[in-house]
Amino acid sequence: MDDLDAITRLPDDFDGRVRLFPLPDLVLFPHAMQPLHIFEPRYCEMLNEALAGDHLIAMATLTGGDSESVMAEPTIASTVCLGRIISHAEVEEGRHNILLVGVRRAKVVTEFDAGRAFRMANVEVLDDFYPPSGKPHRGQLKSELLGAFGEVIPASANAEQNLHELMAGQMGLGPITDIISYTLPFTLEEKLQLLGNADVDARAADLARLLKSGSVNLHSVDSVETAVPGRRNQEFPPPFSVN
């Protein structure tokens, strides 16, 4: 986990100012990996600035409403996910493929005009919180969550192996909830609610209830195999989200 910890650690001089990359129908979570194809000029500018600096981009989710602010930009969900660029390739002039790994959840405090073509905001980082009162029951909660997850993923050798690794490994409950939340096809509202909850025990309990509700029905394990950093999907390169 040392490499992962290094990847998901914020810079010491992080001041809460982030570059926003708003996309519809996408909610990134910490510890999950998201391929992106970038070609729109303002987001190429955003990418170049990130690559020259901290390699951070805040993935934001468009909510479909109209902004009432003076910036007149489409509204975004108040919770975003800071992501770090871990791979970049210019596939042709003005077009880039990047791989982003989620670093931290954060709440948008205010957007501001920084004289860029892309949007920027001040954010408050939301660190995972493990309530002391939940410690005696956390192991059982983890088992319950992974058991519910095992019930909804299709039976296959790869899925069984991945689940076993999660159960037997030292991965904490917080990262597990984020990986499952990112991987499975919950509604946008459900994903945003999970992203916005920094209380790990409460988030895990909510996620377990969603899994047990019967609303998730998978016919392929492809998405289950792409979420954990360091694990490659059989399909490579993975499909890219475009701006």
Range(s) of the domain holding residue 186: 132-225
* Domain co-membership, 167 together with 85: no
* Domain co-membership, 77 together with 144: no
- Using the predicted structure, report yes or no on whether residue 239 has a pLDDT greater than 60: no
What does the DSSP assignment read for 132-168?
A: GGGGGGHHHHHHHHHHHHHHHSPP-HHHHHHHHHHHH
Domain count, the chain: 2
Q: How many CB atoms lie within 10 A of CB 17?
A: 13
User: Is 85 part of any domain?
Assistant: yes
Tell me, what's the pLDDT at 1?
44
* Domain co-membership, 150 together with 38: no
Write down which residue in 128, 155, 185 finishes a domain: 128
pTM of the shown model: 0.85
Least confident piece of the model among 47-51, 133-137, 152-156: 152-156
User: Is 69 part of any domain?
Assistant: yes
Write the pLDDT tens digit of every residue in 138-148. Answer: 999 999 998 89
